[in-house]
Structure 1
Amino acid sequence: MNSISLKPELKELYTLNEFILNELPEENIPVNLILEEIFVNIVEYSKADYIKVNAEFEPPILTIEFIDNGIEFNPLLKDDPEAPTTIDDAQIGGLGIFLTKEMADELEYQYVNNENHLKIIKKVE
């Protein structure tokens, strides 16, 4: 398993993308979206001092684990947003966790030793 430590800064998303996406056989938009949504949420809301990412690609399974020391937050317990009835009712934001739940094949969350651990398993073909 490969690991990388990142600062909780948006500019580190480029480093994360290189770390994960370069291991995949071709561009994978769902994986790219998952990485962006989870990383940006940690940076914006967790108040973490660090983010560690572990990744392993054993074709066709990609396993990514985000670890941070921010505020305890289990994204799996977040309610899915309600679909707007009209375009005027639609709001920007709030869909990242929902999209991650939809695109990932498995999600696991644990809070251990004052750290959030979010494991994402995605079949990559």
Structure 2
Amino acid sequence: MGIPAATQQEQYLELSCNLAELKKIRECIFQIACKSNQEINKKIYLACEEIFVNIVSYSGADHACFFCSRNADKITVIFTDNGRLFNPLESRPEKDFNDFDEGGMGIMLVKELCSAISYSNADGKNNLRMEFTDH
């Protein structure tokens, strides 16, 4: 890729749609993200856990891909799945806190944890890209 290994680390995982795969995601994040700042690692994992649980529980996908990379002070995570078209960034009606027991709070939390987030659908695959800054 033209970037020295000392400044960029990355890992790609192919996952079955099984919640047991969260262990692989966690290990990857804590290995690549930020060795000096465990708090950012926890935030990244929390966001990834929410997204992966949604993929497993609601998408109908039979597999998902997870990509995590670190370059300087930015960590990028990309989830790709072959489930139903779903853009988590589409605007939702504002809810009162008491209404969140019906769902929707997780995506709001993910948006708060990321420094940038984007969605696309290409070739029947959902692609969610999240960026986190290490500070």
TM-score w.r.t. the length of structure 1 is: 0.88
Q: 1:80, 1:98 within 8 Å by CA — same for their partners in 2?
A: no
Distance 1:3 1:12, change over 3 A: same
Equivalence for 1:117: 127
Contact kept? 1:81, 1:95, Cα under 8 Å: no
CA contact (8 A) 1:50 1:68 kept: yes
What amino acid maps onto 1:19 in structure 2? C
Residue 48 of structure 2 corresponds to residue 35 of structure 1: yes
Structure 1 residues 64 and 80, CA, compared in 2 at 3 Å: closer, same or farther? farther
SS at structure 2 position matched to 1:76: coil
2:20 aligns with 11
- Residue 68 (1) aligns with residue 68 (2): no
Question: Measured at CA, do residues 83 and 50 of structure 1 come closer, stay the same or move farther in structure 2, by a change above 3 Å?
Answer: same
RMSD: 1.7
Decide which of 85, 91, 110 is 1:100's aligned counterpart: 110
After TM superposition, what 4+ stretches of structure 1 lie above 4 angstroms from structure 2? Answer: none
Identity of aligned residues (%): 33
Q: Structure 1 CA distance, aligned partners of 2:49 and 2:102? A: 16
Q: 1:81 to 1:16 in 2, by over 3 A?
A: farther
Count of residue correspondences: 122
How does the TM-score come out when normalised to structure 2?
0.82
> For structure 2, which runs of at least 5 residues remain unmatched after alignment?
1-9
In structure 1, stretches of 5+ residues that fail to align are none
Which residue of 26, 46, 57 maps to 1:44? 57
